[in-house]
Amino acid sequence: MIEYTVPEETFRMIMPQKHPMLLIDGIVECSPENKTGICGLTVGRRNTAALDEDGCLSSFCLIEIMAQTMAAVSSYSAYSTGRQKMQKGLLMTVRDCRLLCGSSIKPGTEILIRSVPVYDEADIIRSSVRAWIPSSDEVISEALITACQTVAGTD
């Protein structure tokens, strides 16, 4: 079972996405200094908007799941360093995207997603993001994602 290190109240407060569009369940680990982190989700736990007609994770939602992981890590990093939460962002580009899951990802499947920044200046963040199923170490998607996110100041 995935264990989350960031309290749920904090996670929900810092995330720009809200239910029903919040597809990840929480932050497993995060290093605010270098904006690297891992998020997790259990298919069907809360992310019912990402399920297909058979109740399985829709593969096209993997891009949004990876983008939300990037937002969670960036938001928690800003929050942990004394700034307020991230404002709503904009997914700008998805490059080198590979959706590798050959079969439907069934309800109850746990997924981990790692975000590692490769560029971070001003409001533009580019991260290498990879999602995998920890029970089998099967990589199910990876991409280079660029987003624009602004941080609210501490007034």
pLDDT tens-place string over residues 33-45: 888 999 999 999 8
CATH number at residue 55: 3.10.129.10
Quick one: CA dihedral 56, 116, 26, 74, positive or negative?
Answer: negative
Task: Report the pLDDT averaged over residues 87-101.
Answer: 80
Q: At residue 78, does pLDDT exceed 70?
A: yes
Q: At residue 94, does pLDDT exceed 70?
A: yes
The residue range of the domain holding 38 is 8-148
For the question of whether the overall pTM of this predicted structure is more than 0.75, the answer is: yes
- Domain assignment present for residue 13? The answer is yes
- Domain assignment present for residue 153? The answer is no
Count of structural domains, the chain: 1
- Domain assignment present for residue 16? The answer is yes
- Domain assignment present for residue 134? The answer is yes
- Domain assignment present for residue 3? The answer is no
- Domain assignment present for residue 39? The answer is yes
- Domain assignment present for residue 47? The answer is yes
- Domain assignment present for residue 155? The answer is no
